[in-house]
């Protein structure tokens, strides 16, 4: 209930309004979505959200819910709700979607899809910088993990921000209320880094 979260509510899943559009957004077997492409969405009610049989995702897909590849980081900003799909895309290097909410109907857009590890490799947690750009933490898996903090401009253009010098995952990126410090956690050894700006150079 609005304003009364403890009272519970209705779990819903995102689905596409246009039946001609592919509900599978992963682009694994065919290029169903391209960067900048958007579609109107609807919302499907899901029952039994506790899902003791661990079948909630299958039941949602059977009702027409969209399929995403390992949805992870999520952040609401002035440009919409952004979320990362860590293994999405034809190259399985990661996608970022944007959900635009509006009175005329909600729309889902493929904001970015990586085609090269140098652009983006397994984007996981994300946050929005004070200037509206995205900061994404990579979470690669392999014998050698060269994880970075990656930026995405407001036009969905990737660029490097920082490289993690040790073999670990950066996560939980967020800015201080005044926008001057970027906090990032390192998974192991456990550390929290405070990266001081100025961040104005990130402006597109």
Q: What is the mean pLDDT of the chain?
A: 90
Apex 194 CA angle, 129 and 117, nearest 5: 60
Residue located via tokens 């040790």 = 166
Residue 50 reports pLDDT greater than 50: yes
Task: pLDDT band for 8, please (50, 70, 90 cuts).
Answer: confident
Task: pLDDT band for 159, please (50, 70, 90 cuts).
Answer: very high
Over residues 59-73, the pLDDT tens digits come to: 999 999 999 999 999
Average pLDDT of the residues in 111-115? 96
Q: Specify whether the CB–CB gap between 116 and 31 falls below 8 A.
A: no
Residue 200 reports pLDDT greater than 70: no
Task: pLDDT band for 204, please (50, 70, 90 cuts).
Answer: very low
Distance, CA of 132 to CA of 10 (rounded, Å): 31
Ordered structural domains, the chain, with CATH: 11-202 (2.40.128)
pLDDT at 70: 93
Residue 130 reports pLDDT greater than 60: yes
3-state helix, strand and coil shares in percent for the chain, rounded to the nearest 5 = 5, 40, 55
Q: Specify whether the CB–CB gap between 102 and 116 falls below 8 A.
A: no
pLDDT at 163: 92
Nearest Cα neighbor of 170 from 186, 192, 151 is 186
pLDDT at 1: 67
Average pLDDT of the residues in 123-139? 91
Cα distances from 15 to residues 69, 99, 136, 176, 198, in angstroms, run 15, 12, 25, 34, 40
Average pLDDT of the residues in 40-46? 95
pLDDT at 24: 92
């Amino acid at each position: 209930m609005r304003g009364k979260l403890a009272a519970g509510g209705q779990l819903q899943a995102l689905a596409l309004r246009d039946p001609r559009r592919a509900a599978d957004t992963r682009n694994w077997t065919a290029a169903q979505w391209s960067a900048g492409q958007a579609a109107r969405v609807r919302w499907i009610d899901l029952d039994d959200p506790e899902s003791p049989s661990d079948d909630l995702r299958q039941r949602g897909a059977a009702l027409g819910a969209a399929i995403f590849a390992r949805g992870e980081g999520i952040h609401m900003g002035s440009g919409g709700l952004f979320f990362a799909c860590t293994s999405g895309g034809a190259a399985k290097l990661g996608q970022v979607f944007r959900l635009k909410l509006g009175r005329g109907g909600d729309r889902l857009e493929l904001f970015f899809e990586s085609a090269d590890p140098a652009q983006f490799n397994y984007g996981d947690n994300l946050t929005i910088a004070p200037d509206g750009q995205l900061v994404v933490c990579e979470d690669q898996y392999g014998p050698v993990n060269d994880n970075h903090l990656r930026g995405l401009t407001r036009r969905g253009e990737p660029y490097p921000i920082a490289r993690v010098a040790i073999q670990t995952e950066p996560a939980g990126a967020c800015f201080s209320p005044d926008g001057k410090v970027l906090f990032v956690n390192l998974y192991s050894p456990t550390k929290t880094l405070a990266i001081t700006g100025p961040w104005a150079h990130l402006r597109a």
